[in-house]
Amino acid sequence: MGSVQVLLVTGPGGAGSSTVAAATALSRARAGARVVLLGAQPPVVPGLADAVTVDVVAPLPALETLWAQHAEQLAAAVPVLTVPPATSVVPVPGVTGFALLAALAGHVRAGDADVVVVDAGPLADATTLLALPGALRWWLGQLAPTRLRVLATLRAAATPGRPGAATGLLDAAAAVEELLDAVPLADPARTAVHLVLRPEPAAADQLQATAAALAVLGQRVASATVARVLPAGTGEWWAARAAVQSDAVARVRALSLPVTEVAEAAVPPVSTADLLPLDAAVPETVPAASAPPASRRTAEGWTLDLTLPHARRGEVGLTRWGDDLVVTASGVRRSLPLDALLRRCTVVSGHLTAPGTGQATLEVRFAPDPAQWPAGLLSATTGPVHRGPTHSERSTA
């Protein structure tokens, strides 16, 4: 796999994210990069396909291809099940996101582009797309845990030529995991998320909520574009509108992110010649590497710091489930596997520091679990030992 850069562009409906995505793809191509514009809808500028590679994903063909690859195995494993042909499979909600993942993985594996610009559509769709790899891994872990995989491997070795249901399902799970391994959506160093906003009072709040949601998923907002800014005019209406826009832009800029402004065009762009003057390409920011969450030693045990920029107190949920820590913010949930040390501890508490700011951090405190620590090691720890919530209990920071 090559080091393909992924630029994911999204925003509230009507903000102009598709136009910004198209302008970004064109800008990178004119700079000499091999560019793919990937999306579920044709580009807003029809002639863009002459300048960049356009990949419009159709969910049904992607689903049919995946089904056809594993339908024979499933039918052989479960003879009593009548497996429909690929052309008769009805898609489930979310299949478009999976089709985009598959297409993105294909470009990364092929190395046919230096940059893949993803026109991810509205914010809700983009958040679902970014959450999909982690969610799929979690469900695969529940439906095909390590123990089941080992047993299926042993059974296959003991009875060659007799496929079981578990074997067919695990083969499909392995294919999905291989696809997910090729998708760098959770890596801010390889995938930059750019938010396109309208110059409205809600813009800053939308950016803050999105930043908190992305942080749960291990991502962040790389830059923001305030699009469809009206040019200067005269009269009371223009003055009132200019005041609203100016305040909205100022509030977005106060969030300490790279921000660009794009003026409203008199007519929608219909060619690359119309697109270039808008100067709507996202800035070529180079994201700084971010260290993964790490625990630090405290008097009572350890504290795990999870950065959740702009998260607000009372809107963050925290749950311990087995060896995972489950975090919820801005309507997004992620299950984080704990390292070997923290697995032997109980959760004492969760506290959100600097809520509502770019430095908001969820501090999760752990204490050694006497039942899982050797006596010698436990006695060497300093401070009292407390038992925190069990895996079935929930707390809100």
Please say if the pLDDT value at position 65 is more than 80. no
State pLDDT tens for residues 81-117.
677 887 887 877 778 898 999 999 999 999 999 999 9
Hey, what are 177's tokens?
A: 């995991």
What average pLDDT does the structure give for the chain?
85
> In whole angstroms, what is the distance from residue 198 CA to residue 179 CA?
35
Confidence of residue 139 (pLDDT cuts 50, 70, 90): confident
Confidence of residue 161 (pLDDT cuts 50, 70, 90): low
291 closest CA partner among 353, 347, 218: 218
Q: What are the contacts of 70-75 at 24+ separation with CB within 8 A?
A: 70/168, 70/171, 70/172, 70/175, 73/163, 73/167, 73/168, 73/171, 73/172, 74/168, 74/169, 74/172
State residue 11 phi and psi, 5-degree precision.
175, 170
Please say if the pLDDT value at position 391 is more than 50. no
Classify residue 32 as exposed, middle or buried by CB count within 10 Å of its CB (0-12, 13-18, 19+): exposed
State pLDDT tens for residues 312-339.
998 999 999 989 999 999 999 999 999 9
Domains of the chain: 1-281 (3.40.50.300), 295-396 (2.60.40.790)
Please say if the pLDDT value at position 164 is more than 80. no
State pLDDT tens for residues 275-319.
998 999 998 876 666 677 888 999 889 999 999 999 999 899 999
Residue 395 CB neighbours (<10 A): 17
Please say if the pLDDT value at position 381 is more than 60. no
pLDDT at 79: 63
Please say if the pLDDT value at position 180 is more than 60. yes
395 Ramachandran zone, left/alpha/beta (phi>0; psi -120 to 50):
beta
pLDDT at 55: 96
Which residues touch 264 (CB under 8 Å, ≥6 apart)?
227, 228, 229, 230, 231
Q: What percent of the chain has pLDDT over 90?
A: 58
Please say if the pLDDT value at position 194 is more than 60. yes
> In whole angstroms, what is the distance from residue 396 CA to residue 78 CA?
44
Hey, what are 258's tokens?
A: 């790279």
State pLDDT tens for residues 249-266.
999 999 989 999 999 988
319 closest CA partner among 213, 394, 217, 389: 394
> In whole angstroms, what is the distance from residue 102 CA to residue 104 CA?
5
What average pLDDT does the segment 231-247 reach?
Answer: 93
pLDDT at 176: 80
pLDDT at 17: 96
pTM for the full predicted model: 0.85
The top-scoring range by mean pLDDT among 69-73, 155-159, 232-236 is 232-236
What average pLDDT does the segment 187-204 reach?
Answer: 95
Please say if the pLDDT value at position 379 is more than 70. no
pLDDT at 385: 43
> In whole angstroms, what is the distance from residue 350 CA to residue 338 CA?
15
pLDDT at 236: 94
pLDDT at 289: 62
